[in-house]
Structure formats: structure tokens, C-alpha cells
Amino acid sequence: MSNEIASAGSLPHGHGHTGHGHTGNEHAHGGHAHGSLQSYLIGFGLSVILTAIPFWLVMGDVLGNRETTAILITFFAAIQVVVHMIYFLHMNTRAEEGWTIMALIFTIIMVVIALTGSLWVMYHLNVNMMPVHDMSQMP
Amino acid sequence: MTVVVAPPREAAPTFHLVDEHEHAEGGSTMLGFWIYLMSDCLIFAILFATFGVLGGNYAAGPGPRDLFDLPLVAVNTTMLLLSSITYGFAMLSMERDRVGITQAWLAITGVFGLAFIGIELSEFAHMIHEGATPQRSAFLSSFFTLVGTHGLHVTFGLVWLTTLMVQVARHGLIQANRRRLMCLSMFWHFLDVIWIGVFTFVYLMGMLR
């Protein structure tokens, strides 16, 4: 009996809450977060550092090794993309009930397939189908 | 105990919500715009893949070391990064309902964006003047397509920014304008993310080739 009253009493509240979640989408947890001054400044500071280091590595030829430098700057670029996603684009797993992150994960999968597939296939095409010059046939 | 008998009109079962719950106007705009950005991301992925495949085919023409000016690229990167943070400040001012300050930060963002486009165009003009046109080699074709597409995006972002500044000046920070400003915010930061890929894989990697 008391249970029924409790549930009946909480019902309008629960309904009102879900209603708020949908109507106030742009300000409630369901929409996009805005970030604070602090989060923007942290993101900016990290971006400056993560941009400056690759430029310094390449322009100063600090390492003297192309492969290592290439791997390092790729690594810094990947971190900076994540920094931008979190601090500037305010990505999180909760925005739009998780659909934003789902779309992002799908896109990342597509991008990885397109990039690695293209580079891999075309590299092997170049290596294996390069015309062989037979110098003995030359006049 | 009374058994509640369903009224006859509910005899035919429905398998969906009869009462459509309330959707605020523009409530799905952010998700829709995000999905647009993801599709834009695929365009850039294809252009990056093209550049990755063709980037070494100079056709005995000029290569990255002959053409790229890294200090200039560093300045350009700084312009775009600064425009990102100033747009962030504009969004924070918008949250506090400060129309004037929001407009000021938007204008500063526009100036940085213009500086970026100006530097990029002067770089292109310099390259073309030296004979490094898009027709010269596969490397240059893919370079101009990739970097040019990014530049076009920034240009359209600037057009959008100007339009929104006029809108805000006319109607103030109404709900619709806030939504539009948030969409442009995502667009602008997204272009900065793409630029990370451009300066890393086109310019810095080009100098390493």
C-alpha cells in the first residue's frame, strides 16, 4: 500500500525529469557540454606544446634519424587530435546518449580502413609491378 | 481486488509509442551536425590517402624540400590554433549572455582566420609563380587538392562567422543563434583537428622525405 503511494508520488517527478532531458537538450546533460575557461586554456596549452615539439624536431633535425622522427611526430599528432576532441570539441561518452561517440568510432574505423588499405595496396603495387628495365635489350 | 479490463478500443495492439514525446526545436541539430562533420572527415581521409599514395611522385619536378617554408607553416598553425581558443572564449562569453564580448571574440577569431587564409594563399601564389602548379606533378596535384580543400573549408567558415555576427547583432543571443554558434564552434575546432593532420603528414613528413 505504502509502496504504491511512493511510486505514484515519484511518477510525476520521474516524468518531469525525462521531459527536461529532452526539451532542455542544449543545456542539460543530454546535449553538448561547453567546457570552462580552465578546460579551454588547458587544451590550448597542451596544443601549443604538442605543436611546438614536432616542428622543433623537424626544423632543428634534433634526432638525425628520419624514421624515429616520423614515428614521433605521428605520435604527437595523434595525442593532439585527442586533446582537441576532449578540450575543444567537448567529446565524451555521454553526449547525445552516446550517439556522438558511436558516430566517431564508426568514422575512425572507416578512416583507418581507407588510409591503411590505400597505402598498403598502392605500396605493394608500386613495389611488385614496377617495370623492369632490361639493359641488355638496349641498342 | 478489482481486475482492470482493457477498454475495447485498445484491443488492437500498438507496437510503438502512441504519444510522441516532446522534442525541442533544434534538439537534434547538434547530433546531425556532428554526423555531417564525420562525413567531412571521410572526405579528408580520402584526400590524405591520395596524398599518401601520390606524395612521392615528383615527376622530376620540385619536391617538398624545394617548396615548403616551415617557419611560415608554423606561423599559419599558430594563427589557426589562436583562432580556436578565441572561438572558445566567444562561446564562454555567449554562455554568460555578453553580446558585445561575444561579438568581439568572434571578430578576433575572424581576423585570425583571415590571416590563416592570407598566408596560405600567398604560399600558393609563391609556389605557382615558381612553376609548382597543380598540373606539374602528382605530388603537387594531391597537395593542392588536400590543402586547398581545407582552405576552402576555412573560407566557408569565415563566411558563416560573418553571417552569424550579423545575426547576433540583429537578434541578439537568442536560442537559434546560440545553436548556430555552437555548430560553427564544432566546425571551426574540427578544421583545426584536420590541420593537425595536414601540418604533420604533408609539411613535416614532406621535409623528412
The tens digit of pLDDT for each residue in A100-124 reads 999 999 999 999 999 999 999 999 9
Looking at residue B19, the DSSP 8-state letter turns out to be: S
C-alpha cell at B77: 598553425
Taking alpha carbons only, the member of B170, B71, B179 closest to residue B123 is B71
Q: What confidence category does residue B4 fall into, taking pLDDT thresholds of 50, 70 and 90?
A: low
Model confidence at A30: pLDDT above 80:
no
CB distance B180 to B161 below 8 Å: no
Nearest CA to CA, how far is B131 from chain A (Å)? 25
Model confidence at B41: pLDDT above 70:
yes
A and B: number of Cβ contacts within 8 A: 138
- Check B52 against A119: CB less than 8 A apart: yes
Nearest CA to CA, how far is A139 from chain B (Å)? 25
- Check A51 against B84: CB less than 8 A apart: no
Q: Within its chain, how far is the Cα of A24 from the centroid?
A: 27
Task: Look at residue A95 in the predicted model and tell me its pLDDT.
Answer: 81
Phi and psi, residue B20, nearest 5° = -65, 120
The C-alpha atoms of residue B192 and residue B85 are separated, in whole angstroms, by 11
Task: Look at residue A17 in the predicted model and tell me its pLDDT.
Answer: 39
> A127-131, B51-55, B69-73, B155-159 — which is least confidently predicted?
A127-131
Phi and psi, residue B24, nearest 5° = -70, 150
CB distance A71 to B198 below 8 Å: no
Name chain B contacts of A40, Cβ cutoff 8 Å: 85, 88-89, 92
For residues B25-45, give the mean pLDDT: 92
Instruction: List, as ranges, residues 130-159 from B with C-beta within 8 Å of A.
Output: none
Nearest CA to CA, how far is B37 from chain A (Å)? 10
Dihedral in degrees, nearest 10, Cα atoms B45, B48, B54, B58: 160
The C-alpha atoms of residue A41 and residue B185 are separated, in whole angstroms, by 16
Q: What confidence category does residue A132 fall into, taking pLDDT thresholds of 50, 70 and 90?
A: low
Q: What confidence category does residue A31 fall into, taking pLDDT thresholds of 50, 70 and 90?
A: very low
Taking alpha carbons only, the member of B16, B30, B7 closest to residue B183 is B30
> A51-65, B16-30, B156-170 — which is least confidently predicted?
B16-30
Phi and psi, residue B169, nearest 5° = -65, -35
- Check B41 against A107: CB less than 8 A apart: yes
Nearest CA to CA, how far is A137 from chain B (Å)? 25
Name chain B contacts of A26, Cβ cutoff 8 Å: 24, 26-27, 30, 175, 178-179, 182
- Check A115 against B42: CB less than 8 A apart: no
Instruction: List, as ranges, residues 4-43 from A with C-beta within 8 Å of B.
Output: 18-19, 22-26, 31-32, 34-37, 40-41, 43
Q: Which residue has the higher pLDDT, B23 or A109?
A: A109
- Check B45 against A24: CB less than 8 A apart: no
Task: Look at residue A18 in the predicted model and tell me its pLDDT.
Answer: 38
Nearest residue on chain A to B94, alpha-carbon basis: A34
CB distance B72 to B119 below 8 Å: yes
Mutation target to probe the A interface, by most A beta carbons within 10 A, among B178, B208, B209 is B208
Taking alpha carbons only, the member of B139, B119, B120 closest to residue B53 is B139
Name chain B contacts of A76, Cβ cutoff 8 Å: 200
Nearest CA to CA, how far is A106 from chain B (Å)? 9
Taking alpha carbons only, the member of A70, A46, A63, A109 closest to residue B200 is A70
Q: Calculate the average pLDDT of chain B.
A: 92
**Dihedral sign, Cα of residue A77, residue B116, residue A44, residue A94:** negative
- Check A31 against B26: CB less than 8 A apart: no
The C-alpha atoms of residue B76 and residue B118 are separated, in whole angstroms, by 9
The C-alpha atoms of residue B26 and residue B28 are separated, in whole angstroms, by 5
Nearest CA to CA, how far is B13 from chain A (Å)? 24
pTM for this entry: 0.82
